[in-house]
């Protein structure tokens, strides 16, 4: 892919070019001439940072919308026959000749009944010298980016084999760069989604994480190598060169193995976990940007503590976290060492890449059709950090900026299309609203408990949308199939039209009837809990109601004279909504079948529902609990117009006494659906 060069004497002009390009389409790789650090090394003004639209991870990863061949995304059938446990990369990098010479050792366990050929990935730009196993030179063949190695014998299930592959070449391209900064070499990798194979031999599949990885990287002095895990040693193989040995002892997907190489200055900070010793935070920065970086990254320790409190301890707390400067306009969540644009220190970018360490790194999408499990959570965590550090309004403002109301599914139907995988609108922004809405649907306790169960089951591995759904359902007891189908596999959003009226009651107060109609015409009906806030001259009450019909009626008894009814006042749902007060004091809404009341309320053990049926026809009255589970059917048949009663004895369909709590009676007629809230006390 050609690199776009922007030559300007001042940053504002370069930014203008970036914004123009962004308006025309996603911008990924933009190389600027070196820009001097701000005067005195201080960070840029935050207001100016906020305008840096080009600092967008989604656009960076899109790589100008380039599509990959289908072969590049797919694993071969034979790759399912073994499980990689360890990679060892021995690399010699020559930034003058732009040459990489390497040996990758792959250790794996046989999963099939027998195995004699091992399929690995290596792009055609790299030549293979020799393959070996157990002292034997092996025969190999190549087709596109698949390297097929014939083992020295047939291995049986559960046996362990080791292959060494020598290779060399120029890996430069979308995933590996030989750059310079301030006249010094800058070597970087960014392998998501399918780029690890461009610079090292591996099984480039998200569902097979190696248990650990070692990297031995030799570079000319004064270059410094930053990578995954902990640095074990640095040695001098020949005068003027240094070999850096990095070791990461946690499961890792291939695209998160990384190199960032430059004469870095290392800034050291630390994070103190709740249990155990302090963990180092190591920031590998361009020396000219050291002061800006030290100030900008200072928030990292507090972010780690905040996320650890909510989502479990930082996954790699026995090793490190940190950042390494590179020139891409955004960031990349390399495991334990995120690569970051040296000219940007917005907290949202730091929070995003850090959040990936839980969602994307510790648990990785099984394939890039499910990338929302990585990017949706990381985007949402930008807002969550603001909520925890600045308050609820900051959270709401950030989520508002992520609203996307257009076409397309969050699920990536074509995982060879970079623009689809890294769609800022869908994989990032709308997906962050899915997380935001799921938090509301489940409630804070079940949401966090579900994420804890998700980590416990899939931590160190990968997951699909359906696997995530099953875990969250198991914890909450809810059926999330409608939610997942509508928001992940469906398009668009609900459009609610709300109208309401009030009938004053003889003893004071009023009975508010709220009519909610789903009017969207680009997609089907949505099944969601909604919040209704009723304001009177005496009180403000908030009600959570279930909504899944084209037309639903709700009734509420209130104290005082109602002045306002607001649907979803806290913007918990990605939707459009309009409100109409039909009659704030008078006859209420036009006649329709509805639940007049239940008496007594609260009740124990039974209550009688008063129904008003506007016309003859089918009538169904069902009781649901607060979690939306069906408890009992009270009426199901054809009834004439007029007043009618339905009695609930406080028992479920099996005859067992229902637990104390909030219940909802749902009336379905040809007029639509009416919902009425009841309270069973013990």
> Tens of pLDDT along 337-357?
999 999 999 999 999 999 999
The stretch 20-45 carries a mean pLDDT of: 36
What's the confidence (pLDDT) of residue 675? 85
HSE-CB at 418 with a 13 A cutoff on CA atoms is 24
Q: Are 339 and 260 in contact (CB under 8 A)?
A: yes
Give 484-520 as a DSSP string: HHHHTSS-S--EEEEEEEEEE-TTSSEEEEEEEEE--
**Residue 591: what pLDDT?**
63
**pLDDT tens readout for residues 423-472:** 999 999 999 999 999 999 999 999 999 999 999 999 999 999 999 999 99
In the chain, what are the domain boundaries?
A: 75-263, 495-583, 594-680
Q: Which fold has domain 594-680?
A: Immunoglobulin-like (2.60.40)
Out of 128-132, 155-159, 451-455, 561-565, pick the least confident. Answer: 561-565
Quote the percentage of the chain above a pLDDT of 90: 77
Distance of CA 91 to the CA centre of its chain: 33
29: pLDDT confidence band, cut at 50, 70 and 90? Answer: very low
Predicted confidence (pLDDT) per residue in 177-222, tens digit: 999 999 999 999 999 999 999 999 999 999 999 999 999 999 999 9
Looking at residue 519, its pLDDT comes to 95
620 DSSP assignment? E
Q: Which candidate, 197, 178, 73, 68, places its Cα nearest to that of 124?
A: 197
* Confidence at residue 505, expressed as pLDDT on a 0 to 100 scale: 85
Per 3-state DSSP, what percentage of the chain is helix, strand, and coil (rounded to 5)?
25, 40, 35
Instruction: Give the CATH number of domain 75-263; options: 3.30.420.60, 3.30.110.30, 1.10.101.10, 2.60.40.1730.
Output: 2.60.40.1730
Radius of gyration of the chain (CA): 30
- Amino acid 56: pLDDT: 65
What CATH number was assigned to the domain covering residues 495-583? Answer: 2.60.40.1840
CA dihedral 235, 237, 241, 243 (to 10 degrees): -40
**What are the start-end ranges of the E strands in 327-441?**
331-332, 338-341, 364-365
Please report the pLDDT score of residue 9 as a whole number.
28
CB 330 within 8 A of CB 291: no
Band (63; pLDDT cuts 50, 70, 90): low
Question: Which residue(s) pair with 148 in the sheet?
Answer: 119, 141
Closest to 325 (Cα-Cα) out of 172, 424, 179: 179
pLDDT > 70 in the chain, percent: 89
Q: Is the predicted pLDDT of residue 18 greater than 60, yes or no?
A: no
Q: Are 369 and 431 in contact (CB under 8 A)?
A: no
Domains 495-583 and 594-680 fall in the same CATH topology: yes
User: What global pTM score does this model have?
Assistant: 0.85
DSSP 370: G
Q: How confident is the model at residue 61 (pLDDT cuts 50, 70, 90)?
A: confident
User: pLDDT (tens digit, 9 = 90+) per residue, 270-300?
Assistant: 999 999 999 999 999 999 999 999 999 999 9
Interatomic CA distance for residues 377 and 355, integer angstroms: 8
pLDDT digits (tens, 9 = 90+) for 586-642: 445 656 788 888 889 999 999 999 888 988 889 999 998 987 789 999 999 999 988
What pLDDT sits at residue 590? 56
Token pair for 535: 């304001």
CA distance 430 to 360: 17
Q: pLDDT digit string (tens) for 92-102?
A: 999 999 999 99
Task: Report DSSP state, residue 54.
Answer: T
């Amino acid at each position: 892919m050609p690199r776009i060069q922007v030559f300007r004497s001042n940053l504002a002009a370069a930014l203008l070019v970036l914004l123009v390009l962004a308006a025309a389409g996603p911008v990924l790789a933009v190389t600027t001439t070196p820009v001097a650090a701000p005067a005195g090394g201080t960070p840029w003004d935050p207001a100016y940072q906020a305008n840096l639209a080009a600092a967008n991870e989604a656009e960076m990863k899109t790589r100008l919308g380039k599509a990959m061949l289908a072969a590049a995304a797919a694993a071969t059938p034979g790759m399912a026959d073994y499980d990689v446990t360890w990679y060892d990369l021995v690399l010699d990098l020559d930034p003058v000749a732009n040459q990489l010479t390497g040996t990758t050792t792959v250790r794996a366990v046989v999963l099939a009944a027998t195995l004699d050929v091992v399929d690995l990935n290596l792009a055609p730009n790299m030549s293979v010298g020799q393959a070996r196993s157990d002292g034997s030179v092996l025969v190999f063949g190549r087709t596109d980016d698949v390297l097929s190695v014939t083992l020295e014998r047939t291995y049986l299930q559960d046996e362990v084999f080791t292959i060494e592959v020598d290779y060399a070449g120029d890996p430069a391209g979308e995933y590996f760069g030989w750059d310079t900064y301030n006249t010094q070499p800058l070597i970087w990798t960014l392998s998501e989604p399918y780029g690890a194979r461009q610079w090292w031999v591996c099984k480039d599949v998200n569902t097979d994480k190696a248990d650990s990885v070692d990297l031995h990287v030799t570079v000319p002095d004064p270059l410094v190598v930053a990578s995954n895990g902990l640095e074990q040693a640095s040695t001098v193989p020949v005068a003027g060169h240094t070999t850096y040995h990095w070791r990461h002892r946690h499961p890792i997907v291939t695209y998160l193995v990384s190199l960032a190489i430059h004469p870095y200055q290392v800034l050291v900070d630390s994070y103190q976990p709740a249990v155990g010793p302090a963990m180092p935070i190591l920031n590998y920065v361009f020396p000219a940007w050291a002061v800006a970086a030290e100030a900008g990254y200072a928030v990292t320790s507090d972010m780690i503590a905040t996320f650890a409190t909510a989502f479990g301890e930082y996954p790699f707390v026995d090793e490190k976290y940190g950042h390494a400067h590179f020139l891409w306009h955004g960031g990349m969540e390399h495991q334990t060492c995120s690569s970051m644009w040296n000219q940007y220190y917005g907290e949202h970018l730091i929070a995003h890449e850090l959040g990936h360490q839980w969602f994307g790194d510790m648990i990785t999408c099984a394939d890039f059709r499910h990338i929302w499990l990585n990017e949706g959570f990381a985007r949402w965590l930008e807002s969550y950090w603001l909520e925890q550090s600045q308050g609820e309004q900051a959270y709401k403002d950030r989520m508002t900026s992520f609203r996307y109301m257009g076409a397309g599914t969050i699920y990536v139907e074509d995982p060879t299309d970079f623009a689809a995988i890294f769609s800022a609108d869908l994989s990032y922004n709308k997906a962050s609203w899915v997380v935001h809405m799921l938090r509301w649907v489940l409630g804070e306790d079940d949401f966090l408990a579900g994420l804890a169960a998700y980590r416990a089951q899939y931590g160190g591995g990968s997951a699909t949308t359906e696997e995530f759904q099953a875990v969250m359902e198991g914890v909450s007891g809810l059926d999330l199939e409608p939610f997942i189908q509508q928001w992940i596999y469906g398009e668009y959003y609900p459009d609610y039209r709300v109208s309401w009226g009030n009938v004053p009651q003889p003893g004071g107060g009023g009975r508010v009837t709220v009519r909610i109609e789903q009017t969207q015409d680009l997609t089907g009906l949505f099944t969601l809990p909604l919040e209704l806030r009723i304001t009177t001259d005496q009180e403000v009450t908030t009600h959570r109601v279930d909504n899944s019909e084209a037309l639903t009626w709700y009734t509420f008894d209130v104290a005082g004279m109602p002045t306002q009814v607001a649907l979803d006042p806290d913007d918990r749902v990605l939707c459009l909504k309009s409100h109409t007060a039909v009659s704030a004091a008078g006859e209420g809404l036009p006649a329709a079948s509805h639940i007049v009341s239940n008496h007594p309320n609260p009740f124990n053990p039974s209550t009688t529902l008063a129904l008003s049926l506007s016309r003859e026809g089918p009538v169904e009255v069902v009781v649901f609990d607060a979690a939306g589970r069906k408890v009992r059917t009270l009426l199901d048949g054809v009834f004439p117009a007029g007043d009618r009663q339905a009695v609930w004895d406080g028992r479920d369909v099996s005859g067992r006494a229902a637990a104390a709590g909030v219940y909802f009676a749902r009336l379905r007629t040809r007029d639509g659906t009416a919902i009425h809230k009841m309270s069973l006390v013990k």
